[in-house]
Amino acid sequence: MVSRDWASRLPWEMVAVAVGLILLGWLGIARAEELADHPGRFLPRQMFWLPLGLAAMVGVALPSYRPLCRWSYAIFLAALVALVLVYFFPPVNGARRWIRLGPVGFQPSEFAKIGFVMATARYLMHRDNQRRFRGLFAPLGLVLIPCVLILREPDLGTALLFPPVLVVMLYVAGARSGDLLKLALLGALCAPLLWTQMTREQKSRITALAESTAPGQRPSDDAYHLQQSKRMIALGSLWGSLVQGDAVTDRGAYRLPEAHTDFIFSVLCERLGLAGGALILGLYFVLIWRGARVARQSREPYGRLLAAGLTALLAVQVVINTAMTIGLAPITGMSLPLMSYGGSGLLAHAIVVGLLLNVGARPGYEVGPEPFRYRLEPAR
């Protein structure tokens, strides 16, 4: 039975925010269906995954996370094997990102992100070589393997997610800021090599940021996505079409490819307006701030690094996804956590929240055969 003391330490506001984001995601998916004239195509499937996601969140939050430390490398290895297995399944829309088992398919890269954070936390928890510059190269091996596999799918957005998460975890583990800056400069010098390994589609998503289109001329596909995304946000005005009604009668103005996945934020800004967009960003801020607080309060090395990595995972995704919808970042195909359509994404991010809840409920440090915990002073 879950103790009352455990329940009192649980960061319940994270649960409320996560559920709120999921429900807002449903609103955006329903609006995307309406604009695409495909009612009932995506929302029922997303609703099907909600009980599974909540069950996963509760399932990983209840038992102590500490035994997971011993299995971190095995979980990461299993995720890498799954990333290889995708190449043995037929491509979908030109990409090999899914493993299909009958009518059900899942995207291994969503779970590889969690496995990577767990393995990196295990590696860094009792080491101090990351406090020297040469000690940073071993953790780079952990990040390069999944990045290369995911880039070949191809999935530029997910691959770009790993390096900043690693930098955050290295900093929390004690790496010096100057060494991390050197590492970032080294990565910038390797950017031309990355460019040569990118597909034509991936390159076009980056060059679309600087593409200019003459009036009346149709932009390229990626520039068109960006143009329509910004137009949708502008059509929402302050309060959105849910309150003010549609801004224009031309349905072509509301046409946005992948509106239910990559551009769910644009759709919700059209539906809820600038106020709704601010609400969404505010909810994410609470979720990320609370996750950072969980990491700061944890007195156990693996739990601190795990919470820091998972929080960074959420933060980087939110920043990249929202930035690409307004033209501040390339269109990378990165989904918005808990909101975008996709069963694998919803399930994986529910697990992320569940692990943060787990660490947040157990901030003490257990030593020896009998556990003891420091009691944290209540927040003022």
- Is residue 33 situated within a structural domain? yes
- pLDDT tens sequence across 233-260: 988 888 888 888 777 777 777 788 878 8
User: What mean pLDDT is reported for the chain?
Assistant: 82
- Position 368 confidence tier, pLDDT thresholds 50, 70, 90: very low
* pLDDT score of 118: 95
Domain membership of residue 68 (yes or no) is yes
Taking alpha carbons only, the member of 380, 255, 284, 346 closest to residue 53 is 346
pTM of the model: 0.88
Residue whose C-alpha is closest to residue 76's, from 309, 300, 375: 309
Any domain includes 213: no
Q: Is the pLDDT of residue 266 over 80?
A: yes
The answer on pLDDT for 4 being more than 90 is no
pLDDT tens track for 96-106: 787 877 777 78
Total domains in the fold of the chain: 1
The residues that bridge with 99 in the sheet, in sequence order, are 106
* Position 369 in a domain: no
CB 379 within 8 A of CB 340: no
Tokens 């004239």 map to which residue?
37
What is the mean predicted confidence (pLDDT) over 210-214? 56
Confidence (pLDDT) at 367: 40
Residues 6+ apart with CB under 8 A from 26: 43, 46, 47
Higher per-residue confidence, 326 vs 119: 119
Residue 1 pLDDT > 50: no
Does residue 330 have a cis peptide bond before it, meaning omega lies within 30 degrees of 0? Answer: no
**pLDDT recorded at residue 202:** 65
Query: Which one has a higher pLDDT value, 366 or 17?
Result: 17
CB 246 within 8 Å of CB 343: no
The CA-based angle 46-146-153, given to 5 degrees, is: 60
Per-residue pLDDT band at 194 (split at 50, 70, 90): low
Q: Give the domain range for residue 139.
A: 13-208+219-361
Query: Is 274 in contact with 315 (CB distance < 8 Å)?
Result: no
Mean pLDDT over residues 217-244, rounded? 78
The strand ranges marked E within the chain are 99-101, 104-106
Residue 373 lies in a domain: no
First to last CA, the chain: 30
